[in-house]
């Protein structure tokens, strides 16, 4: 090199990582490589080691995410501003950790949570930092059990609802006010380019009175001739991005089992049961299962 590159800074590394993440389209892999090369060339001492481990997502420092969220809540309690808890809170540190974890499950973006904490404090966080359409929600995942008997014993004398375990891919479908559609995986990865046929179907079948919604679904491969669900191995053969509708060889159908948002209103805190509960609303989005000649789902009704 003709001259020594400028020393790396945290801001420089962070900005470059963000650029790498956003690169897409033609020659995107080559562009990503060049960005990584520029970082490695400027790195000194042990910096290359940490850059590589960060890129591989293998940097482990001994703190789980739940620990970090709890620490954020407790730090907010100890700050000079907004530190006085409400009268009903008996254990401020525990309650603060609980609030941050709850908010993070709804809007998992540290930038927004920390900004809200600094601006309005921990005790107003659920109001100032809430569900935002377009930002994927942390999914409610399954808990392993030893068998059906354990489930029945756990839910004795309780009302509960069940759903088939579909051999597909979890998806959150977002229909925004501007008419745009985004589809996210259980890991908050953007899958819109993988399922253009789903986006087309949602736009076509949506009722005119619906301006926005978020559906929690399972996307499964489907044989339309034999009217049966196909295994996940078939679904996994679809291309992962930039899929053209005309090139699709594996059809899919959607099983909607929860509705999180509708016409500008968050439904996350609404009850699952009841005629107007989220569960009932989600099922009313489907066309009756007994009518096999029609599509397996219908998008939203008001």
Task: Please pick, among 165, 249, 292, 293, the residue that the annotation labels catalytic.
Answer: 165
Neighbours of 125 (CB within 10 A): 23
Q: In the annotation, is 165 catalytic?
A: yes
List C-alpha distances in Å: 180 to 98, 183, 192, 201. 34, 10, 10, 13
List C-alpha distances in Å: 11 to 7, 57, 61, 72. 11, 18, 20, 21
* Nearest by Cα to 203 from 83, 300, 124: 300
Asked if 249 and 274 count as a contact pair (C-beta separation under 8 A), the reply is no
Burial category of 97 from C-beta neighbours within 10 Å (exposed 0-12, middle 13-18, buried 19 and up): buried
* Nearest by Cα to 115 from 135, 102, 124: 124
Asked if 218 and 164 count as a contact pair (C-beta separation under 8 A), the reply is no
Which residues form the catalytic set? 165
């Amino acid at each position: 090199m003709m001259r020594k590159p400028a020393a790396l800074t945290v801001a420089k590394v962070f900005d470059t990582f963000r650029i790498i993440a956003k690169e897409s389209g033609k020659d995107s892999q080559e562009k990503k490589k060049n960005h990584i090369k520029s970082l490695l060339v400027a790195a000194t001492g042990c910096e290359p080691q940490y850059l590589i481990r960060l890129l591989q997502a293998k940097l482990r420092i001994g703190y789980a995410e739940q620990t970090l969220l709890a620490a954020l809540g407790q730090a907010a309690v100890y700050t000079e501003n907004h530190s006085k808890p409400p009268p009903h809170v008996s254990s401020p540190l525990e309650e603060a950790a609980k609030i941050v974890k709850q908010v993070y499950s709804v809007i998992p973006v540290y930038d927004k949570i920390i900004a809200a904490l600094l601006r309005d404090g921990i005790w107003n966080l659920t109001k100032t930092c809430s569900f935002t359409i377009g930002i994927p929600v942390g999914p409610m995942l399954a808990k392993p059990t030893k068998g059906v008997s354990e489930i029945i014993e756990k839910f004795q004398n309780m009302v509960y609802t069940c759903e088939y375990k579909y051999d597909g891919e979890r998806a959150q479908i977002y229909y925004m006010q501007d008419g745009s559609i985004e589809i996210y995986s259980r890991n908050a990865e953007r899958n819109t380019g993988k399922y253009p046929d789903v986006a087309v179907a949602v736009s076509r079948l949506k009722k005119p009175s619906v301006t926005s919604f978020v559906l929690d679904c399972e996307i499964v491969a489907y044989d339309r001739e034999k009217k049966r669900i196909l295994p996940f191995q078939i679904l996994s053969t679809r291309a992962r991005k930039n899929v053209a509708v005309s090139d699709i060889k594996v059809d899919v159908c959607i099983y909607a089992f929860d509705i999180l948002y509708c016409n500008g209103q968050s439904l996350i805190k609404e009850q699952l049961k009841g005629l107007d509960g989220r569960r009932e609303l989600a099922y009313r989005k489907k066309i009756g299962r007994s009518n096999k000649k029609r599509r397996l789902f219908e998008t939203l009704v008001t």
